[in-house]
Amino acid sequence: MTGLPFTPPDLMAYHRATRAEIDLNALRRNLGALRSALGAGVGVMAVVKADAYGHGAAACARAALEAGAASLGVGIIEEGIQLRESGIRAPILVMGGISGSEIGDLLHHDLATTVYTQSLVQAISKQAAQAGKRPRIHIKVDTGMTRLGISTNDFLCLAENAKNLGNLEIEGLCTHFSSADEEDDDYTLQQLSRFEAALGQLQTAGIRVPQIHCANSAAILKYPQSRFNLVRPGLILYGALPSPALQPYLEPVFGGEPPAPVMHLKSKIILIKKTARGTPLSYARKHVTRRDSLIATLPIGYADGLARSLSGKMQVVVKGKKAPQVGAVCMDMILIDVTDIPGVQVDDEVTLFGGQGEQRIRVEETAAWAGTIPYEILCAVGKRVPRVYDV
């Protein structure tokens, strides 16, 4: 025993200089704007998979439901179970489907799942009969993503089989667009046409399906005809756009402005060094100062999800001014050049993306610097970065 005071791990995390501030009111505003634009006939399934794209699934799920979401979408069954264990009772769809070994958990936790094989439908029905349950299924049709889903030639047979089994509730018909965020419309319109044809076959066969959904964030904005009676927003709820090509389509939903960012990734300066011209910085000495400089150290690195590909490319905000990141991104630290920022001091707050005063760095910018997409930047923010919620 050392006799030193013990700080519980959760409190220790909140003392960390690096943190992700989560503005749940921004999420509520984004969802509220979306619902207003959709009108009364279209419901919202808020997508909270991948820990709500790194924002914290339980907190974001509650905020989305408070703002009027009708249901929640997760990627894998464990995510649905975690939401149930956090006390959320709203309808939850496992969008990525399940394996046969997960059927018991699906039934026990009252989750819905997508289905796309006859064998899975049969297995769910068999276990449901044994358990005295009537699970909800959403038939996923592959219209061109070529990932999950049953072919348009075979889906009607699956739907009829599911109906005839008698103990499955066919709650939804869905598909997923591969290219809705691209400028070229052709492929998305082909997918939509195939989906509409499948829906027509279902109706002709007399199989009633209450939820029809295929619109992701991009399609909600760009293809209003794809909304049907349920949409699945993900990235736009968290304040980012899947692609710059969607900018012209913001007016009807967000009044021409991008959705409000929900995550603000921040850190603090822990050291400032006066550095002479010609000094190499960080690993591999790929950056050498070209003038006498002030170089500040931040306690955040690629172990926190800050991609190493951002090395020497990104900017941050300090005291309301932008400053360049310099040298290699390390596991636990980065360096920034604060030479041109008057009055900078240790403990000054630094924003890596999000807002600080009048300055803002959108996560889309960070993604462009890293050569990736905003989804990856948000999802990569590591578990050792505490989420601090503004509720």
Helix 155-165 to helix 118-131 angle, to the nearest 10 degrees?
10
Let me know if 49 is a catalytic residue: yes
As given in the structure block, the two tokens for residue 116 are 């796309």
DSSP summary character for residue 129: H
The span from the CA of 235 to the CA of 278, in Å, is 43
Is-contact 362 258, C-beta < 8 A? Answer: yes
Q: Which of 126, 273, 274, 283 is catalytic?
A: 283
Q: Judge residue 165's burial from the number of C-beta atoms within 10 Å of its C-beta, 0-12 exposed, 13-18 middle, 19 or more buried.
A: middle
One DSSP character per residue, 238-253 reads: GT--S-GGGGGG-HHH
Is-contact 83 102, C-beta < 8 A? Answer: no
Residues pairing with 230 in the sheet: 43, 213
Amino acid in the structure at residue 158: L
The span from the CA of 391 to the CA of 274, in Å, is 40
Helix 155-165 to helix 186-204 angle, to the nearest 10 degrees?
40
Please list, in sequence order, all residues whose beta carbon lies within 8 angstroms of the beta carbon of residue 155, skipping any fewer than 6 positions away: 139, 141, 198, 201
Neighbours of 385 (CB within 10 A): 21
Maximal C-alpha separation, the chain: 78
Is-contact 135 129, C-beta < 8 A? Answer: no
β-pairing, 263-268 with 349-356? antiparallel
Nearest to 296 by CA among 330, 270, 331, 332: 270
The span from the CA of 335 to the CA of 282, in Å, is 8
DSSP summary character for residue 6: P
Let me know if 14 is a catalytic residue: no
The catalytic residues are: 49, 283
